[in-house]
Amino acid sequence: MKLLLLNPAYPFEELPTPPFGLISLAAYLLERGVQVRIEDYIVTPYSRKRVEKILSEYAPDVVGATAVTMNVNTALTLLKEYKEENPDIFTIMGGPHVTFDAQSILDKNDQVDCIVRGEGEITTVELLESINSLSSLSRVQGISYRTNGRIFHNQDRTLIDDINILPFPARHLVPLNRYKALTFPLNMTTARGCPYNCIFCAGRKMMGRKVRYFDVKRVVDEFEMLSKMGFRQINVVDDLFTSNEKRCIAICDEIIERGISHPWNAFARVNTVSKRLLEKMKQAGCTTLCFGVESGNQEILNTIKKKITTEQVTKAVRLCNEVGMDSIGSYILGLPGESPETVKESFAFASGLNHSYGFHILSPFPGTEIRERHEEYGIKILTDDWDKYDANHAVSETSYLSHKEIDRIVNTFNADIEETISLIEKDREENKQLSKKYMDHFESRDNLLFSKELITSELVEEYPGLDGGAGVGETIDDFVTFIETHTNFTRDSIQRRLDRLFSLGCLKVEKSKNGMDVKWAEFNSPCA
């Protein structure tokens, strides 16, 4: 069968990475003989004309889309337009939102034929086999579907016990060089599952409370492969990388023993790190740990079942500072019991710690305890407009803090950061000396903005090339002129940014039918 997988767009401000769920699923399907293509609309501009082109060229039997809550409407629109172009295509959706909102999604969206709930690999294989053989879907565990106007929810599928049966993600199916151009990192996982039960997170319900681990050798094999792909950073995106200290140290020891030198970061909990572990992680190249702190108020931490203390937060940050590792604290405003006083407490607590921190706004996602029991927790949900569930806009409020006040607080916080950056940028424009941290920030931002313009305006695709016997240097110079004509970037800036992209292998000059052209380079190795 031919399967087309869609990755719906979401804002560049969210720093997207290659669609890990899709490339993981695709790798498993490829091993079982399914033809798979991925349309990644984060780094490939979407158009109805492109839909027609893909359907004509690839002619998929099944089209599937993934989504988180904030882009589920975008995914539904994509499926609608693919279905309109070819009503005979069977459409599926997967991901955390539709897993826990299957009834509503199927009830309101005729363009969706089936939903794969939870872990998708084995379920999708069985689903495709049933579609191909025209057999009943009733025997496929882990799906919800519509038949003759009725919606059915088959029993849940048991999670994969030994995840080492899963191959490396099929990263070659997405335009990796565009992510590299944007300075975004690569993602990998070393485990699935989370033993904790925070009321604002559906991770445990999605992937289980038992942590299932990839073998240490397999983890480092993948890490070593990614370290050679030219990305600035690798993100270990386990729900909790530090859930098992002995195993973490074994992974770090293997990285060190192989002599792999590449920066990486991970998510951790403040109650699962020790100085010994942090020293080993730093030695293995870990530069930053992100801690979910959520609140500086202990009563709120207890209510949301975070199972940490503010003392543990303080200690974890201190240990990171002692070993020379950066840490970032992530806070959520609008949790149960939030009031003007607890907000002040959280701001005072965060600013009193010697590390970076940021504030998001509570989004009661489908599948979370806080959504299912919001009245008991004193939370009023204001809207089911999923586009607003981006953790940057208040979609709920507490008895003591209105949504308008929550928005005001976070907007003021973000505006203060932007003002600080603007002042530092003014110093930069006046050629004042800046710290390496800020110089790196501006360089990364400028590279992102330039590459974003190349991608969203399709400047590489629109460049007509040079006819005749032009050489590489002449073609690049002409490409600089083309970009200068179509953007507001200066010629010097364009040249500098293009030099970076060519040196990274993101772009290439190649012979065309009539002369020379500039193209996005591709990763050709299936293991990439």
Provide the 3-class DSSP secondary structure of residue 241: helix
**Are 157 and 119 spatial neighbours (Cβ–Cβ below 8 Å)?**
yes
CA distance 73 to 95: 13
pLDDT reported for residue 262: 97
**Are 391 and 410 spatial neighbours (Cβ–Cβ below 8 Å)?**
no
CA distance 322 to 314: 12
pLDDT reported for residue 469: 76
Residue 67 DSSP code: -
pLDDT reported for residue 526: 41
CA distance 256 to 465: 46
Residue 138 DSSP code: G
CA distance 42 to 19: 9
Provide the 3-class DSSP secondary structure of residue 167: coil
Torsion 252-254-258-260 (CA) sign:
negative
pLDDT reported for residue 140: 97
pLDDT reported for residue 42: 95
pLDDT reported for residue 524: 54
pLDDT reported for residue 527: 43
CA distance 312 to 257: 32
Question: CB within 8 A of 521, min separation 6: which ones?
Answer: 177, 505, 506, 507, 508
Largest CA-CA distance found in the chain, in angstroms, rounded = 74
pLDDT < 50 regions, the chain: 525-528
